[in-house]
Structure 1
Amino acid sequence: VENVGKIEIARLEKNISILGIIAGIAPMLGFVGTIIGVIKIFYAISSSGEFGITQIAGGLYTKMVTSAAGLIVGIIAHIGYHWLSILVERMVFRMENSAIEFMDILQDN
């Protein structure tokens, strides 16, 4: 019974870690996009020799979109990771209780 429980727990937890990795990496990828946006701004300024809204608009757009996307994906993945972890913990608790009840029934007979 214990081995079957371990197999089921491993099966349930298998893909949850991937969601945790996504939750951790997504904001970092958004930050990389922020850096790329700043690089675009400096490149536009150095290429044109001017500093104005037209030179910084494209880089700011890239910066803001990638930051927002990274944060949104990270937040959703973080919430999903913890929600699924709680569901697995509840299922493990129920499985353990069922195994204990089953063992008690076997001992009584």
Structure 2
Amino acid sequence: MLEFVRLVMLTGGLLAIMPVLLIITLAVAVERFYILKKILRQGRYAHSNLRKVPDNDVDGLQAIVEASSDALQSRLISTAIAIRGESAEDMDLRLDEEILAASPKITRRLWVLDTSVTIAPLLGLFGTIVGMIQAFNVLSSNGGPSKVTGGIADALVSTGAGLLIAIIAVYFVNYYSTLSREIMHQLELIKVALINRMQGRETRVEPARPVRLSAGV
């Protein structure tokens, strides 16, 4: 503990911020993991059951909503039920509006992880610079070379701590960006499935399909 306090004093107090930043980063990472995984799981349930619902079966759609009323996807299904009878184009626009409204809930607090990736190495580097300045001040005060090199080595702890936090945060940023894209894709699939079933026929409002190559003549 005394050694940590000494390093904090050496880096001008910046090293003390690192544990706080690490705790915040891990707290947001754990919270987002739980929320995003829950949304994905609910989406798989909704899409799987939606594919089993016959065309124009409002009761079947309502049953999916009641089974998971707190799910993000249930809001999409409820909207489709409320606007049944509208054209495919109008329904597509209304459901797109719901998807866009849900987007902030999916990406909430991810900016904290982005900030950790950027600010942690900078704080670490700044702490190292402050520590090196103090180490060279020792040299100018007739301190021995060993004290200078020891001070620089201690100051580098700040940079190492910042890089460690950034490495942890950048992993979660990339992982949650992938999960967010999966959820948005999932919502698009549910939207298309809803339009097809509410219209009772195939519509042109669907994801891009792969090009079919015709057989050679």
Q: Same fold (TM over 0.5)?
A: yes
The percent identity for this pair of structures is: 24
Aligned length: 107
Aligned equivalent of 2:146 = 53
Contact 2:135–2:147 (8 Å) recurs in 1: no
Structure 1 residue runs of 5 or longer lacking an equivalent are: none
Does residue 179 of structure 2 align to residue 87 of structure 1?
yes
User: RMSD across aligned C-alpha pairs, in angstroms?
Assistant: 1.5
Letter of the 1:22 partner, please give it: S
In structure 1, distance between residues paired with 2:112 and 2:133: 31
| Partner-residue secondary structure (3-state), 1:96 | helix
CA contact (8 A) 1:37 1:60 kept: no
8 Å Cα contact 1:38-1:59 kept in structure 2: yes
Asked if structure 2 preserves the Cα contact closer than 8 Å seen for 1:44 and 1:56, the reply is no
What residue is the counterpart of 1:33 in the other structure?
127
Contact residue 33 and residue 66 of structure 1 kept, 8 A: yes
Q: Secondary structure at the match of 2:144?
A: coil
Q: Normalising by structure 2, report the TM-score.
A: 0.46
| 4+ residue segments displaced more than 2 Å | 1-4
Name the structure where helix makes up a greater proportion of residues: 1
Is 2:137 aligned against 1:43? yes
Counterpart residue number, 2:108: 14
Larger relative contact order (C-alpha < 8 A, sep ≥ 6)? 1
Letter in 1 for 2:129: I
* Equivalent of residue 65 in structure 1, options 154, 157, 180: 157
2:189 alignment partner in structure 1: 97
Structure 1 or 2, whichever has the larger Rg, is: 2
Aligned counterparts of 2:163 and 2:185: Cα–Cα separation in 1:
33
In structure 2, what residue type is equivalent to 1:64? L
Task: Report Cα offsets for 1:43-99 as digits up to 9, x if no partner.
Answer: 11112x1332134313420x2210110000011111111111110100100011011
| Alignment-mate amino acid for residue 177 of structure 2 | S
CA distance in 1, matches of 2:111, 2:129: 28
What is the CA–CA distance in structure 2 between the aligned matches of 1:26 and 1:55, rounded to whole Å? 25
